[in-house]
Structure 1
């Protein structure tokens, strides 16, 4: 596929959430843009597949309606969102305990009575923490001194018992790490959005989100099936050896690909998660509720067909279960045994439908965590993605928006190149 007549002002490499947001804002700013994607479709890690009559995302996903960038960019009604229960079911040694938001489902909050899931002191501490995160200005949460989530919970007066019973098993599935070493800033912002928004899934799977973002781009901007091999002084070289030129290049890929395209770029380590999909003749839990295990034998589990019946075409139940890392067959068998205990059912007849291993599913986010970093890497070169902000859809979209702002500001200061090179000679990498 050749370059459009007249060339481009900006090439954006990678059509995940960050690249889609960046390209949209650059186009809105009046620039000529090509959004280059290696795969045949958009989305990056936010993709949905159809497997044996089931709709399965590439790893367990949830969509949070409270993210500011989501509200700004997406038509939520068009996504036909299907909500999860506002709470989680915790499997404990004393049986299942329901952690439900009492402001939304008071009748289902009996497990929040003192002595069941938490003590009176813990409930007071949890209420104070939640009220602050819900009501305080977001700027206050973003600018407080940072520490680990584990330390922040202790500082808030949450006992080790409640941490081990609820927070560690639940947040392990949010952060994809079970030491609670993730930035407290990020925890407080995530907790805030959970209290303010609804966790749900589009009726067509999570891939409907990037698909909607892509549908808003003008014809000719998105160009799929174009793997970028390297960046050059002119622009980029594609895998087939051809070259595309532009005044600026934005790398909007995952952190590994970004480090390859931009040698010297400092990127965080990535979390690995595996999601196992099973089909069951009957639903083991007749409600759209996330299940976590206090013994942490898995991250979380959910009957996706309770969220939306359309995720299966043959009437069977689709169960999604995520675990840290890439388990071997023996470990997967142990997970299935744990699910039998947690769901109180025989899982031996469950049919394995799909298995997805996601490398760099989230960037590691230890404190102190800068919630946003400049996307400028060198003259004419920029980098965006959740690894430059926070590991979330909000972080990816916000980073893409920041890249567009910085590109627009820089190109308006710098006239178009008149020599053979469209990009200035690269400067030393910007570590910020």
Structure 2
């Protein structure tokens, strides 16, 4: 018997979030799709290890509630995001400083307390009336609602200044208490200037950000008009954490997008671990769409060859793997540099008091770039009675990474860590594709008619970038196929090896 001309409309190679999201858009348009994944599980780098009731992310990349694709991607309606406390917690000179969060509950009242705290320091008398005038401009904003799969009360933006102002917070936000905590680490007048700078970037259209001159982010910071202490003590450690780039070699345009996401949303974690996102996407696809344990060895515009099932014929192929694997299947595709990430997970019976914040080290006095009591953000990640502390090391890790991390955490949290139990140390050498200038945020996803590619290496090296590239690739495929209705009833993807037909 003759084989059919093709067995499926589109084959997607790779079951990471980009490939699964593209498959959703294709199947929703009536295009029969098969997703082939070499690993025994879906998710790629967004994976979670289970150890004794703990859920341990292998990379732990930070997400934002302000990522538009999280609310617009089919299959993620059931996603629950657990937010950090607004802003971040900075460790400097043995103390904790709260920075970058929105104004406190009550809008203008809490912001007035913040300005009053700043005004209590010596400063020119003329600045206080200006600060009060800015306080009068405060207005509350609606809470973040179920667009991200959360109850409206789960994440609430407590107030914004001039339509989206993150600011240094001296209002009644949850945070560590005690004589070591303070709110004014960056010099007289700096908070208002930083608030204004973040407010501007939060409300600047993306197209205008992308039109700015491009240079390495570290160099661009010096030209932003903020004091050096603010840049080095707040913006550098923040951007290093958001971009997974300790040297800030990332394109200044990508850094601006990261700051915009920070200024207009909340840092968050997916409830249950990073693997929940790809698992939700896979579970909501039509049965039989996703096939794990299938290794693709070559691709063409009308077929893929697999090690397990021979040739699978199709009308289009979408390569949705990581950058290096994609280049192996698509010779000539550029492979970017990568940022290495090491995540160290500890558990302890008594959680350090950080008030639900992401903790950064302003002084860079050790290997840890950022750390958090993750079980305080998402209780499902640790068994009852235990705290999960997850810490991220950027770049090449030290020789004895666990000892170095413990020593650094003892300073950051101000508690002994010698008795903490190490649950896992996950090192990923190619965790995040680098975005050094010049960086094209819209790299082509259509290589040839019938051959496409997507992933975080085609846009920005974030979840938002992966999902956005999937959207672009799926749109290109649908346009080329003219798919506005079901094309045919496909034969099922083979589950046993096929013999070649002469």
TM-score by length of 1: 0.88
C-alpha change, 1:91 and 1:286, in structure 2 (3 Å) is closer
List per-residue Cα deviations over 1:153-209 (Å, max 9, x = no partner).
222202222222112222212112222221121122222222222222232112211
In structure 2, the partner of 1:101 is: 101
* Higher mean displacement: 295-304 or 93-102: 93-102
Answering whether residue 386 of structure 2 is matched by residue 316 of structure 1, we say yes
In structure 2, the partner of 1:145 is: 213
In structure 1, the partner of 2:204 is: 136
Match 1:400 to one of 444, 467, 470: 470
Whole-Å separation in 1 of the counterparts to 2:198 and 2:398: 38
Answering whether residue 297 of structure 2 is matched by residue 229 of structure 1, we say yes
In structure 1, the partner of 2:228 is: 160
Answering whether residue 54 of structure 2 is matched by residue 54 of structure 1, we say yes
Q: Which has the larger radius of gyration?
A: 2
How far the C-alpha of 1:364 sits from its partner, in A, is 0.7
- Structure 1 contact 125–156 (Cα < 8 Å) conserved: no
In structure 2, the partner of 1:28 is: 28
Match 1:289 to one of 352, 357, 362: 357
- Structure 2 contact 343–427 (Cα < 8 Å) conserved: yes
Match 1:374 to one of 444, 459, 469: 444
Match 1:204 to one of 272, 276, 290: 272
Match 1:178 to one of 246, 259, 273: 246
In structure 1, the partner of 2:154 is: none
In structure 1, the partner of 2:259 is: 191
Match 2:335 to one of 267, 282, 285: 267
How far the C-alpha of 1:374 sits from its partner, in A, is 1.3
- Structure 1 contact 326–357 (Cα < 8 Å) conserved: no
C-alpha change, 1:248 and 1:233, in structure 2 (3 Å) is closer
- Aligned-partner SS, 1:155: coil
C-alpha change, 1:104 and 1:206, in structure 2 (3 Å) is farther
C-alpha change, 1:26 and 1:78, in structure 2 (3 Å) is closer
In structure 1, the partner of 2:121 is: none
* Higher mean displacement: 359-368 or 394-403: 359-368
How far the C-alpha of 1:16 sits from its partner, in A, is 0.9
Whole-Å separation in 2 of the counterparts to 1:155 and 1:327: 31
Q: CA RMSD in A?
A: 2.6
- Structure 2 contact 94–411 (Cα < 8 Å) conserved: no
How far the C-alpha of 1:393 sits from its partner, in A, is 0.9
Whole-Å separation in 2 of the counterparts to 1:145 and 1:98: 31
C-alpha change, 1:341 and 1:4, in structure 2 (3 Å) is farther
How far the C-alpha of 1:320 sits from its partner, in A, is 0.4
How far the C-alpha of 1:5 sits from its partner, in A, is 10
TM-score by length of 2: 0.76
- Structure 1 contact 66–193 (Cα < 8 Å) conserved: yes
* Higher mean displacement: 35-44 or 336-345: 35-44
In structure 2, the partner of 1:354 is: 424
- Structure 1 contact 125–157 (Cα < 8 Å) conserved: no
In structure 1, the partner of 2:344 is: 276
- Structure 1 contact 63–206 (Cα < 8 Å) conserved: no
In structure 2, the partner of 1:78 is: 78
- Structure 2 contact 24–74 (Cα < 8 Å) conserved: no
Q: Greater helix share, 1 or 2?
A: 1
- Structure 1 contact 91–342 (Cα < 8 Å) conserved: yes
* Higher mean displacement: 324-333 or 114-123: 114-123
How far the C-alpha of 1:332 sits from its partner, in A, is 3.1
- Aligned-partner SS, 2:222: helix
Whole-Å separation in 2 of the counterparts to 1:340 and 1:26: 50
Answering whether residue 337 of structure 2 is matched by residue 337 of structure 1, we say no
- Structure 1 contact 230–236 (Cα < 8 Å) conserved: yes
- Structure 2 contact 63–267 (Cα < 8 Å) conserved: yes
How far the C-alpha of 1:78 sits from its partner, in A, is 2.9
Q: How many residues align?
A: 412
Answering whether residue 11 of structure 2 is matched by residue 11 of structure 1, we say yes
* Higher mean displacement: 252-261 or 36-45: 36-45
C-alpha change, 1:76 and 1:103, in structure 2 (3 Å) is farther
List per-residue Cα deviations over 1:199-242 (Å, max 9, x = no partner).
22232112211222223311222112212122246421212361
* Higher mean displacement: 385-394 or 145-154: 145-154
Whole-Å separation in 1 of the counterparts to 2:86 and 2:480: 44
C-alpha change, 1:367 and 1:129, in structure 2 (3 Å) is farther
How far the C-alpha of 1:388 sits from its partner, in A, is 0.6
- Aligned-partner SS, 1:20: helix
How far the C-alpha of 1:74 sits from its partner, in A, is 5.7
Once the two structures are superposed, the pairs formed by residues 32-43 of structure 1 within 5 Å of their partners are 32-43=32-43
C-alpha change, 1:233 and 1:6, in structure 2 (3 Å) is closer
In structure 2, the partner of 1:391 is: 461
- Structure 1 contact 299–324 (Cα < 8 Å) conserved: yes
C-alpha change, 1:100 and 1:128, in structure 2 (3 Å) is closer
How far the C-alpha of 1:250 sits from its partner, in A, is 0.8
